[in-house]
Structure 1
């Protein structure tokens, strides 16, 4: 299985049109607002001596933070242009970056074979994936974990659409960061909570913890309030491993 050429080109186009300046992508918030609190939720359940793979790493902002908390951090993204951004930004070489199509089962298996059991960080990937590809994205998380890995997954809920519509209705229309997302045909918040939960469960994952949160964006409302997208987070383990732990 592979993603559609249209989807691939949309992401290549988005990252090619985005500068190297921090925060230029609407979701490229500082780690203090994103991977720092996310990691605090994951760490009680995870073995930090294992690597962590940042799925859909974009320009690598969160991957570089993850490298300070885990033995090894690897950022992967569908778009070659995103990986180029990430490598340029990682001036101290704290992380590794590689292009990876998450729905390419063989490529995911090859990564798993190279690094062994690994933790996974995935922030807002399922919701913007093509509907037919979403089961494979969830399956990639499970495949990478092996037996010992744990995953942190966070996805915006459909309520995020209302927030984005509010942002788009400013006096000058959508701000440039959101306009760039829409211009390239990317569709945020297009998966329901029920779908995300079902996909994770069907992939053989079980939730160890979870709850409501908000994804901080790099745009602000006219009154200066930071745009935040209602979301839900999960800490996940292989279902059979949790069953074994209970025994």
Structure 2
């Protein structure tokens, strides 16, 4: 099974219209707001001698930071163009990047065979996935962990919809970075609050720790307020 052609083209189109400028994608926040605090929540549970796989890595901003905390970092993304961005940005060769469809079970298993047990970092992928693909995305996390890996997963909650609606309701419509998300047919905050933990458990994952957080964006409201989207984080292991 693969993602739909519409979904694939939406992401390729988004990244094709995105420059290499850091922060141009609305979610491309500095690691100090994202993977740095996220990693501090994961590290008490994780073996850093294992690789870490960044699922939905985009242009690799977080993957490059993860490479400083784990023995090896691999960023994967559905979009070939995103992977090209990531490789250009990683001039020091700190991480590895490859295209991967998380819904393609054979491709995920092949990655697992190459890496062995791995830690997983996944930020805001389930909520963007099409509903029929979400179980497979959660299953990809479980597949990659094996027995020893641990995962950090953060997903938007339904409270983020009100923030997005407020952002889109300004006199000039959505701010430019948010408008680009909508223009490419991407639909943030699509998953329900109970859907995410239910999907994770159904995939054979055990929630070791969880809590509330916010996904910091690189865009602001007309009044200058930074857009922070309410979210929930989970540290996970295989049952």
Counterpart for residue 119 of structure 2: 119
Q: TM-score normalized by structure 1?
A: 0.96
Counterpart for residue 79 of structure 1: 79
CA drift at 1:189: 0.1
Counterpart for residue 56 of structure 2: 56
Counterpart for residue 238 of structure 1: 238
Rounded to whole Å, the distance in 1 between the matches of 2:222 and 2:7 is 32
SS at match of 1:214: strand
Counterpart for residue 215 of structure 1: 215
Rounded to whole Å, the distance in 2 between the matches of 1:19 and 1:170 is 26
Rounded to whole Å, the distance in 2 between the matches of 1:132 and 1:171 is 35
Rounded to whole Å, the distance in 1 between the matches of 2:56 and 2:231 is 17
Counterpart for residue 169 of structure 1: 169
Rounded to whole Å, the distance in 2 between the matches of 1:223 and 1:4 is 38
Counterpart for residue 149 of structure 2: 149
1:1-247 equivalence runs, <5 A: 1-239=1-239
Rounded to whole Å, the distance in 2 between the matches of 1:165 and 1:17 is 24
Q: TM-score normalized by structure 2?
A: 0.99
CA drift at 1:52: 0.1
Rounded to whole Å, the distance in 1 between the matches of 2:226 and 2:151 is 27
SS at match of 1:45: coil
CA drift at 1:12: 0.2
SS at match of 1:213: strand
Rounded to whole Å, the distance in 1 between the matches of 2:221 and 2:151 is 32
Rounded to whole Å, the distance in 2 between the matches of 1:229 and 1:97 is 27
> What does the per-residue CA deviation read over 1:153-204, in whole Å, with 9 as the maximum and x for residues that have no partner?
0000111111011111122111111111001110000101210011000000
Rounded to whole Å, the distance in 2 between the matches of 1:223 and 1:44 is 39
> What does the per-residue CA deviation read over 1:188-225, in whole Å, with 9 as the maximum and x for residues that have no partner?
00101210011000000011100000000000122322
Rounded to whole Å, the distance in 1 between the matches of 2:156 and 2:217 is 12
SS at match of 1:122: strand
Q: Which runs of 4+ in 1 moved over 3 A?
A: none
SS at match of 1:20: coil
Instruction: Name structure 1 gaps, 5 residues minimum.
Output: 240-247
